[in-house]
Amino acid sequence: MSLILHIETATDICSIGLSRGSRLLSIKNAEAGYQHAAQITLLIQRCLEEAGVGIEELDALSLSSGPGSYTSLRVGAAAAKGICYSLDKPLIVVDTLQSLALASLKQEREEALYYPMIDARRMEVYTAGFDSMNEQVEAPRAIIIEEGTFLEQLQAGHRIVLSGNGAEKCRPVLSGPNIFYSPVFCSAAHLLPLALIAYEQGQFADVAYYSPFYLKPPNITKPRPRLK
């Protein structure tokens, strides 16, 4: 059975998992936020040690592709590509939002529209729409959360399930009998089902040319000039 290392760095918490076939062998999450560069190698090592396997035994790596934190996604991509290059292993790219939606679907089992959300800045989130078969029905986009968000879907009779760290900012603004909040957040464990399908179908990314899906350009501010 396939031995796959899973790397999730789309949000503030770095998460690493290891699976054999459909079974999760180990999962390690950083205790503090935005410690990806300092923690990712250590977390990988801990996962391998807990499972009692060597890194050379891996069959593939799966990587959460974004959208999410620009810097965090770059750290994850660099680590994954480095391992793939050095060990000549294939890279599997997993849609972050789809993996979140699937995890929510498995937990809630609601006939609904699923909107996984990655926290952006202020009241903005990255999201996409998925149906109860985990098929994408609305493309990834950045939206500002306000009272009228999802009004069209609600008026059409749909139930709405929100998940991810971006859903928390919706609670004061979005409520009602057909809006549900699923306590599912980004985790390397959520990459497993989609990564396994991709592995079995031979759907691998080009390691040399792969780049994370940022959705929006990074928010870079120029430093103020020093006073003479």
Q: Both 88 and 190 in a single domain?
A: yes
In angstroms, rounded to a whole number, what is the distance separating the alpha carbons of residues 31 and 223?
A: 31
Q: Both 88 and 197 in a single domain?
A: yes
Is there a domain that residue 104 lies in? yes
Sheet order of strands, 179-181 included: 136-144, 124-130, 113-119, 160-163, 179-181
Q: What is the residue range of 8's domain?
A: 3-95+186-201
Is there a domain that residue 143 lies in? yes
Q: Both 35 and 73 in a single domain?
A: yes
Q: Both 80 and 69 in a single domain?
A: yes
Q: Both 55 and 17 in a single domain?
A: yes
Domain count, the chain: 2
Q: Is the pLDDT of residue 219 over 60?
A: no
The angle at the Cα of 38, spanning 36 to 39, to the nearest 5 degrees, equals 65
- In the chain, DSSP finds a helix count (H) and a strand count (E) of 5, 10
Nearest to 102 by CA among 193, 181, 188: 193
pTM of the model: 0.92
Do residues 140 and 126 lie in contact, with contact meaning Cβ atoms separated by under 8 Å? yes
What is residue 223's predicted lDDT score, i.e. its pLDDT?
57
Q: Both 80 and 16 in a single domain?
A: yes
Task: Give the 3-state secondary structure of residue 7.
Answer: strand
Task: Render pLDDT for 36-87 as a digit per residue (tens, 0 to 9).
Answer: 888 999 999 999 999 999 999 999 999 999 999 999 999 999 999 999 999 9
Q: Both 102 and 153 in a single domain?
A: yes
Q: With pLDDT > 90 as the criterion, what percentage of the chain qualifies?
A: 88
* Mean pLDDT computed over 171-186: 95
Is there a domain that residue 33 lies in? yes
Q: Both 8 and 91 in a single domain?
A: yes
Is there a domain that residue 225 lies in? no
Do residues 7 and 63 lie in contact, with contact meaning Cβ atoms separated by under 8 Å? yes
Residue 169 tokens, joined: 């900012």
Do residues 169 and 125 lie in contact, with contact meaning Cβ atoms separated by under 8 Å? yes
Residue with tokens 């952006």: 120
What is residue 34's predicted lDDT score, i.e. its pLDDT?
82
In angstroms, rounded to a whole number, what is the distance separating the alpha carbons of residues 200 and 202?
A: 6
* Mean pLDDT computed over 117-140: 96
At residue 228 the predicted structure's pLDDT band, cuts being 50, 70 and 90, is: low
